[in-house]
A and B are shown apart, each in its own frame.
Chain A
Amino acid sequence: MMPDLGKYAEAVLSSYAVSIVLLVVLVWLSVWRATRVRKQLEDIESKVKRDG
């Protein structure tokens, strides 16, 4: 299944590895921060509502 990348295997595989890692980290950080900020805002809004 794995294509024969010949003498350039290292270059091709490291390009894919670096890019995929960077994209996954970017997506993960974006989703993590979105979840955290949404939760924090909900907490603050319910506190504001409670305290009037």
Chain B
Amino acid sequence: MNLNALWAYANPKKFIQATDRVLPWISILAVLSLVVGLVWGFFFTPEDYRQGSTVKIIYLHVPSALMAINAWLMMLVTSLVWIVRRHHVSALAARAAAPVGAVMTLIALATGAIWGQPMWGTWWAWDPRLTSFLILFLFYLGYIALWEAIEDDDTAADLTSILCLVGSVFALLSRYAVNFWNQGLHQGASLSLDKEENVADVFYYPLLVCIAGFVLLFIALVFLRTQTEIRARRMRALLARERMG
């Protein structure tokens, strides 16, 4: 595949045309995967011998936590593209992804707290992973607020890109905190390439379907919201031209 062909989608019109074609299919696949994965996980998987029925929270907690981190990493890549190549679509894609990532982080924090209460005996602990996740959520809020606070689109894109670079430290920290900080309540990763460390197959397969559903939902929402940001930017430009003329 010619990677240079990707730059064609930096053209707002081409981006909207291309995403319009795939958006309905991605949306249908997202809904199907989410319904199948969550119904499978909730109704047709057994209790865990230690966690009891709270193991069913894994189908929401793990995919949302995964997407919370990966959404920020996607924003990092598109922010870097903006800084280096000044493509507006990439800056707008980062802006579009932020509320989606923030909701994913909130779901991960909420389901983690609800699971933690009966399992750890507390809703919250200042554990490395939990704390870095909370800071990541605050970065999401700060990033969204910064976009809203600055009127000039290019200045907003510049400043939010810098904020995104700084926040990436916490996105990576949230991902790897359990590996190098051998303390805190949070257990190791639920998914691993090592079969011994992985969750049992009976939980693993519905979890994979749920992860696919969350990934597809994220892609669908980012496409839709980026289209909206492109149109909103064009609208602002037309209104400004009208005021001046």
Query: Could you tell me which A residues sit within 8 Å of B by CB distance?
Result: 1, 3-9, 11-12, 14-16, 18-19, 22-23, 26-27, 30-31, 33-34, 37-38, 40-41, 44-45, 48
Contact = CB atoms under 8 A, between A and B. Distances in A.
Contact of A18 (B47, B107, B238): B107
29 contacts: A3-B42, A3-B43, A5-B53, A5-B56, A6-B47, A7-B52, A8-B118, A11-B54, A11-B117, A15-B56, A15-B60, A15-B110, A15-B115, A18-B110, A19-B111, A22-B106, A23-B103, A23-B107, A26-B100, A30-B228, A31-B224, A34-B225, A34-B228, A37-B232, A44-B235, A44-B238, A44-B239, A48-B238, A48-B242
Interface of B: 38, 42-43, 47, 52-54, 56-57, 60-61, 64, 99-100, 103, 106-107, 110-111, 114-115, 117-118, 217, 221, 224-225, 227-228, 231-232, 234-235, 238-239, 242
Contacts of A22: 103, 106-107, 110
A51 to B, nearest CB: 8
Nearest to B103: A26
A11 B107 contact: no
B30 to A, nearest CB: 10
**In the complex, the 5 A-B pairs of residues with the closest C-beta atoms, listed nearest first:** A5-B53, A19-B60, A34-B228, A15-B111, A15-B57
B64 to A, nearest CB: 7
A40 B6 CA distance: 30
Contacts of B42: 3, 16
Contacts, number: 92
Given A3-B42, A12-B57, A34-B228, A23 B242 contact: no
Chain A binding surface SS class = helix
Chain B binding surface SS class = helix
A41 B52 CA distance: 52
B64 A19 contact: yes
Nearest to A39: B231
